[in-house]
Each structure stands twice: as C-alpha cells, then as structure tokens.
Amino acid sequence: MTLLKIGNLDVTPWLEENGLSVEYQVLLSDKSGRNARGKNVVDIVARKDKVIARFRPLDGDQMQQLLAAIEPFVFDVTYRSPKTQAVKTINIYIGTPSITYVRAHGMDVLMQEFELSFIEN
C-alpha cells in the first residue's frame, strides 16, 4: 500500500516504521482572540494539512532520488488521509531538509534517518 508519494516517486519503502503522521493546522485571522467581555472569538481563515515523514537511513542513490523529487520546493504530495482513509493529493511546500552522513567509504554511502515536513499551500 502506498502511504506517501512525492510527485511520481513512491517513498513508502523508505519510511521508518510508524514514519508518517498528519497534523491538521487551523489558521486564524488577526480578529481572533478574547473580546472585552472575555469571550473567545475565533475567525478561521483556512485549514491546512501538514504531512510529516520520518525516513529510515538511505543510501546515496535513494537520497539522490529523494532530493531530486523535493528540489522544486513547491510540488504535489499524495498520501493516505487518516480522516477519509482515502488517497489525497495536496500542493505543498517543504521544510528545510537536513541530511547527515553516517558512513561514506568510497561508493558505500549511508545517510542518517531524518524527517521532512510537507506543508499544504
């Protein structure tokens, strides 16, 4: 079962066990907050999904494919929505990737596990 695709690249096999989570963010306007009567006023501007992927250690070829897929900064991601249990595609921007080498001996390269956040536009 595909849990996460970046463009056409299925990265499900590269995720850690329990390596995908979804946050539901609510964006409020400047008019939100407590009024003079002490009542909470909420003006919802938008609701956005944030998909967080935790990747297992990847070798050099896998990392090259992943970094090429996220290079555009703004792109489509397809994932399985916990709300609907259906596949959902959203246009996202990405948080800054931070990649750490675990091992690099000649052509034998391995990168440490890491996390990426995909934030809906």
DSSP calls for 16-36:
EEEEEEEEEEEEE-TT-EE-T
- For the entire predicted model, the pTM comes to 0.85
Domains, the chain, ordered by start: 4-120 (2.40.30)
For the ranges 13-17, 55-59, 97-101, the lowest mean pLDDT is seen at: 97-101
Read off the pLDDT of residues 24-47 as tens digits, 9 standing for 90 and up. Answer: 999 999 988 888 889 998 999 999
For the ranges 7-11, 77-81, 104-108, 113-117, the lowest mean pLDDT is seen at: 104-108
Residue 14 has phi, psi (to 5 degrees) of: -90, -5
Mean pLDDT of the chain: 92
- At residue 107, the pLDDT reads 66
- At residue 102, the pLDDT reads 82
